[in-house]
Amino acid sequence: MKTRREFLHAGLCAGAGAVLSSGTRPASAEPESGAGSQRPNIVFILADDMGFSDIGCYGSEIDTPNLDALARGGLQFSDFHNSPRCCPSRAALMTGLYSHQAGMGLMTADYGRYPYPAYAGDLSEKCVTIAEALKAGGYTTLMTGKWHLTPLTVGKHNWPLQRGFERYYGIINGAASYFDPASLTSDNTPIEVTKADEGYYLTNAIGDHSVQFIEDAARKDKPFFLYAAFTAGHWPLMAPEETISKYKGKYAGGWDALRASRHAKQLSLGLVRQEWSITPRDPRVPGWELASFHEWEQRRMEVYAAQIDLLDQNVGKIVSKLRQLGILDNTLICFMSDNGGNFEEMRRIPSGHQRPAFMPYKTKDGMPVIPGNDPSIMPGPATTYASYGIPWGNTSNTPFRLYKHYANEGGISTPFIAHWPRGLKQHGISHAIGHEIDVMPTCLDVAGVAYPKLSKAGTPPPPLEGKSLVPVFQGGALPERSLFWEHEGNIAARNGKWKLVSRFPDAWELYDMEHDRTEMHDLADQYPDRVRKMAAEYAAWAKHVGAQPWPMPQTPDGAIRLGAMPSPPYLLHDRI
């Protein structure tokens, strides 16, 4: 059988021989939900680096009553997908296009590195954001939280207010201290947390500003769209001690027992099938009984659990405000994560060495911040800057393989909850195959807003790639289609029950997702014709969106290793 690279070369040379479905579905003049002339408000809530099993209704032991209640009263997707990393995911989510079409095949940190538009590292002005479309359609547009779609070094042309939002509070960059966040911004003005802001915590601030924005918008005689992009549970591991203490001792049984209990709960909920074997523990991780530094390892997961707990508490604030204002029934609330759970381990940075801009040297009280995963330092307070790493990232993605960065299910599977009392006709669990490119067409559909004919650049935007989820909301199905992924050479194609996937630089693997969604039984050798067909479809898609074979000629030597970008001085994420 040909290698993956031979397949790609042949497919790209042949051009886009396969017919690609753009997924374009014009927005209706009125929402198809039956909401009539009273157009719904839309609240879209995004978690950061949160794995498939990290909230209660997807198998977790973490206390998430508010998200669980939204799932019970709404629709819970078992087979929904994102992109493998922060920037690509947010670009696809905001535009209804594949990330490459929006200029974000890689990260904002790659700005200026590549001559290919698909890897510009700055949100393309030739595409249209949800906010731009809904604002033109009569919606008030609001955003809180993490933007991460433009470098801080190139001006404000792609900040939220320049891409359709009327109000904004959050961080422009991709990571920050929860107690003293860098790149904190109010509307278009950079701001800082001061000593006077006692008790400041970013997750709470995002929730509080979301509530205030909703209250202000509800006074207007028009619907609103709120995009609340929380940074929880992205590193650094930081949370108030009173919330961390809630989980003290919760993880004394270790990661093996936790993965098993989460998997058992997922089976009981009907989210996964018994025939899908849970994936083996990551081979770099010892069994819990052989692990070192048990107290420190438990503490890492305790802090992470507190971060997710606080995320849920702030979702509760938003829901409570909608209920208080009497607008909950006609508000579509959606929730998902931007990519799978994260395996990145934080390095120690020696004293005197330069740190990235988002990593502080001192707290606002002048105490030194010591970054890195050091078992002698318990994470959680503002004086630390750590991550929960491979063993707990493996747990977050139960029962799937791999992590953020990769196109295997652990990197691209997300919880997705839709709650809309007035508009949903189907409740419970949906096994429809969805993708974050479906979010924008869904928003336009329920809002009765047409897809704009012109982009910020003054050119027609690419046709939407996603499909409206409204048919699923009403008890129907989505049309059959193919979905594709590419990030750092980690690639995949999905069509119905079949998935073709490769972790760079490995050969293609083929899985029957109906019987083996945990990707345990590679069928590539048994079905070579299907591999060839799907590889050709991937090559045609790559040509369509501008995805390049990895590594690109401009890719630094250090970036080629196993498809990971050069390991920054603060990460060990190229070890896989």
8-state DSSP, 27: P
For residue 189, CA distances in Å to 106, 128, 205, 323 come to: 27, 23, 16, 31
Reported as a single tens digit per residue, the pLDDT across 366-415 is 999 999 999 999 999 999 999 999 999 999 999 999 999 999 999 999 99
CB 416 within 8 A of CB 337: no
Residue partners of 28: CB distance under 8 A and separation at least 6: 445, 448
**Chain-centroid distance, C-alpha 118:** 19
Is residue 69 included in any domain, yes or no? yes
The gap between the terminal CA atoms of the chain, to the nearest Å, is 26
Write the CA distances from 302 to 48, 240, 380, integer angstroms. 17, 11, 9
Is the Cβ–Cβ distance between 39 and 223 less than 8 Å?
yes
Residue 361 maps to a domain: yes
What Å distances lie between residue 264 and 59, 268, 272, 445, 485, CA to CA? 8, 6, 9, 37, 29
Q: Reading across the β-sheet that carries 41-47, which strands appear in turn?
A: 189-190, 184-186, 167-171, 140-146, 224-229, 41-47, 331-337, 413-419, 75-81, 428-435
CB 558 within 8 Å of CB 551: no
Q: Where are the alpha helices (DSSP H) in 181-332?
A: 202-218, 241-244, 254-269, 294-324
Q: Return the DSSP state at 81.
A: E
- In three state form, how does the secondary structure of 376-430 look? CCCCECCCEECCCHHHHHHHHCCCCCCCCCCCCHHHHEEEEEEECCCCCCCCEEE
Measured distance CA(539)–CA(533) in Å, rounded: 10
Residues 499, 509: Cα–Cα separation, whole Å: 8
Helix (H) or strand (E) holding 472: helix 470-473
* Total length of the chain: 576
Residue 506 lies in a domain: no
Closest CA to 185 of 198, 168, 165: 168
| Under 8 Å between Cβ of 68 and 62 | no
Does the residue 495 lie in any domain?
Answer: no
d(CA 216, CA 230): 20
CB atoms within 10 A of CB 541: 24
d(CA 122, CA 498) in angstroms, rounded, equals 33
Supply the angle between the helices 202-218 and 294-324 in degrees, to the nearest 10. Answer: 10
Tokens of 317: 């604030």
Q: How do beta strands 41-47 and 331-337 pair? A: parallel
**Residue reference for tokens 């929380």:** 230
Which residues have a catalytic role annotated? 86, 148
Distance between CA atoms of 274 and 266, rounded to whole angstroms? 10
CB 466 within 8 A of CB 483: no
Each residue's pLDDT tens digit, 256-306: 999 999 999 999 999 999 999 999 999 999 999 999 999 999 999 999 999
Place of tokens 């509800």: 218
Residue 375 falls inside a structural domain: yes
132 occurs within a structural domain: yes
> CA separation (Å) from 502 to 265, 407, 525?
29, 7, 14
Give the CATH number, domain containing residue 341.
3.40.720.10
Question: Chain centroid to CA 529: how far?
Answer: 33
Residue matched to tokens 């336009």: 444
Determine the structural domain holding residue 107 and report its residue range. 38-449
- Cα 401 to Cα 279: distance, rounded to the nearest angstrom: 6
- How many domains does one find in the chain? 1
In a domain, 575, yes or no: no
| pLDDT by 10s per residue, the chain, length 576 | 444 444 444 443 333 333 223 333 333 333 333 333 599 999 999 999 999 999 999 999 999 999 999 999 999 999 999 999 999 999 999 999 999 999 999 999 999 999 999 999 999 999 999 999 999 999 999 999 999 999 999 999 999 999 999 999 999 999 999 999 999 999 999 999 998 899 999 999 999 999 999 999 999 999 999 999 999 999 999 999 999 999 999 999 999 999 999 999 999 999 999 999 999 999 999 999 999 999 999 999 999 999 999 999 999 999 999 999 999 999 999 999 999 999 999 999 988 889 999 999 999 999 999 999 999 999 999 999 999 999 999 999 999 999 999 999 999 999 999 999 999 999 999 999 999 999 999 999 999 999 999 999 999 999 999 999 999 999 999 999 999 999 999 999 999 999 999 999 999 999 999 999 999 999 999 999 999 999 999 999 999 999 999 999 999 876 765 444 344 556 664 433
Least Cα distance to 401 among 507, 485, 280 occurs for: 280
Q: Is residue 568 part of a domain?
A: no
Pairing of the two strands 41-47 and 224-229: parallel
In degrees rounded to 5, what are phi and psi of residue 63?
A: -75, 105
* Among 553, 445, 533, 571, residue whose Cα is nearest residue 116: 553
